[in-house]
Amino acid sequence: MMVNRKKELAGEITKPVQNWPDADVKKLEDFCNKMGILGIGCGNMNPIAVLAMLKQKLGIVDTVSQSEGYSPNHPYSGTIKNRILLHG
């Protein structure tokens, strides 16, 4: 592991650059600007996962409307009735 680290620092080994969808990054940036968050360091986490984590830490609860097929007690009941899961 130390040999690989030394090679990495010398520039012999390069790690692939992780690219995330621009829409996901924009959602995270907009939320951070709205809440006054100057910066976060979450490594290589997906921006949507980081956004969910931030909302959980701040106590913000997102609810999906029942018109989209979700209800608090049966989250997939409407979706299964409409067969949205299988047929998009």
The sign of the CA dihedral 36, 42, 43, 49 is negative
Cα of 77 vs its chain's centroid, Å: 24
> Using the 8-state DSSP alphabet, how is residue 18 labeled?
P
Q: What is the pLDDT along the chain (88 residues), one digit of tens a residue?
A: 888 888 888 877 777 778 888 998 999 999 999 999 998 888 888 888 899 889 888 888 775 544 444 445 555 555 555 554 444 4
CA–CA gap between residue 19 and residue 2 (Å, rounded)? 27
CA–CA gap between residue 59 and residue 40 (Å, rounded)? 17
